[in-house]
Amino acid sequence: MYLGIDLGTSEVKLLLMGEAGDVVATAGAPLTVSRPQPKWSEQDPAQWWAATRAAMRELRAAHPAALSRVRAIGLSGQMHGAVLLDAQDRVLRPAILWNDGRSHAECTLLTEREPRLPAITGNLAMPGFTAPKLAWVARHEPDVFGQVATVLLPKDYLRLLLTGDKVSEMSDAAGTLWLDVARRDWSDAMLDATGLARSQMPRLVEGSAPSGGLLPALAAEWGMPPGVIVAGGGGDNAASAVGIGATRPGEGFISLGTSGVLFVVTDQLRANPDSAVHAFCHALPGRWHQMSVMLSAASCLSWVTRATGAGHEAALLPEARDLSSAQQQAAPLFLPYLSGERTPHNDPHAQGVFFGLGHDTSRGALAYSVLEGVAFGMADGLAALRAAGTEAGTLSLVGGGARSPYWSQLLADTLALPIVTHAEGSAGAALGAARLAALADGQPEEQACAPLAVVQRFEPEFERHGALMQRYRRYQALYGQLRSLFQQAAPA
């Protein structure tokens, strides 16, 4: 048996996987986010550990025999968070999370201090990353910064409590802005720009390699045998890719959750920071990945459902699906920037827009416009990846949006790529963490990372693709015309 532990923002999820890759059981415990000031997002790391132990108690109560056969544990988790420890490994302050927006000024500061930042890290400095958070602490909480002996990412703090070892792995470390992503090693230049040193960083391993062993007291508490390996693991998106079997160059997935991600595996670092593409190490040796990120994806559908009084999304989607081709062509264009946008615009001031409303615009037309606008945002992301030399093949679709065959087909038609869905696609990062545990235990990659079975396949309809591209060009022009107005409307 192999155990995956996924530390999310809203839940700790555990997944038990058999040697053949079958999901045996899952368990979870909820988490809460603290927002003490506007743009702040924090969690107490003690909450992560309490939730992990609660989920483990649930899992042991239901599946004691399976836990007694666990050979290795893999970790996955929310990326970019900053856990600050003193010399006695005590947490100095609440962890600053990935979706915390307080450090815009520090992004500019770090880029001024180290102009080679995009070349070293493969990314632009953004508040979501870890280094600007530490620069903010240095400026605003100098007493805390002066006590920092170690900085850990969220899942790696769990690892410390599981094993007693301070270790990270390449995919998560790539999201800090302290990693030389091409060399897969800490960058002394970027650490120096943040006022830190290598001695304050954890040791690095590959995600599929052992990072330590489970402490004997925990093994006894959880009913596991002695000698359980803890694998390096992966950041949530890299682990999700391993979970669906996206491990070879050109393979990848689209995630349609609250936000949207287009993830493609590459055989080398292919950075395109000018278009706000994220270029990170994969959780497997010798591979990297690119990600385009939309800040609002399935959340746009939730918004239009509420705004139109549709009650729930399942009631609204048929109204979009039943539009004729002529009605789709006449529908308003929608810019899906309800929370600003990341790729390719890196524009926090961008706003959502309906363009082309008329007296005859129906609720179904608005719903169609939203589905199409999100698909166009993904097309922007795919173009940004291609500009860096990356080509995608068949893409898996995961997240809440994967439940809609209509939206799945619309994405295939827009991107001109086959889209597939999987029965266990929702297992995501926790399954990937369990697979990384199997790799650390010596299981061959072709067995541990086999692609998930395909439930449904959506081939692009190229006639419809041509019609969509006419509207896509207008969509692109619309943002270009409005960008300066978005800037003017931004709060001072």
**Binding site for substrate: residue ranges?**
79-80
Sequential DSSP letters for 379-427: HHHHHHHHHTT----SEEEESGGGG-HHHHHHHHHHHTS-EEEETTGGG
Single out the residue of 74, 62, 55, 61 nearest to residue 1, CA to CA.
74
Integer angstrom CA distances of residue 336 from 98, 321, 409: 21, 19, 19
Torsion over CA: 78, 173, 17, 60 (sign): negative
Single out the residue of 204, 48, 197 nearest to residue 134, CA to CA.
197
Q: Which residue has tokens 């996955």?
A: 76
Instruction: Read off the amino acid at residue 451.
Output: P
Known catalytic residue at 236: yes
Single out the residue of 169, 231, 240 nearest to residue 429, CA to CA.
240
How many CB atoms are located within 10 Å of the residue 455 CB? 12
Sequential DSSP letters for 282-305: -SSTT-EEEEEEES-SHHHHHHHH
Which of helix, strand or coil describes residue 206?
Answer: coil
Q: Which of 156, 180, 236, 380 is flagged as catalytic? A: 236
Q: Which residues of 130-160 are buried (b: 16+ CB within 10 A; e: fewer)?
A: bbbbbbbbbeeeeeebebbebbbbbbbbbbb
Q: Which residue has tokens 């062509």?
A: 329
- Could you tell me which residues are annotated as the binding site? 79-80
Which residues pair with residue 122 across a beta bridge? none
Integer angstrom CA distances of residue 346 from 125, 305, 350: 11, 27, 9
63 burial via Cβ count (<10 Å: 0-12, 13-18, 19+)? middle
- Per DSSP bridges, beta strands 203-205 and 167-169 are parallel
DSSP type of residue 331: S
Torsion over CA: 70, 76, 77, 80 (sign): positive
Active site positions, annotated: 236
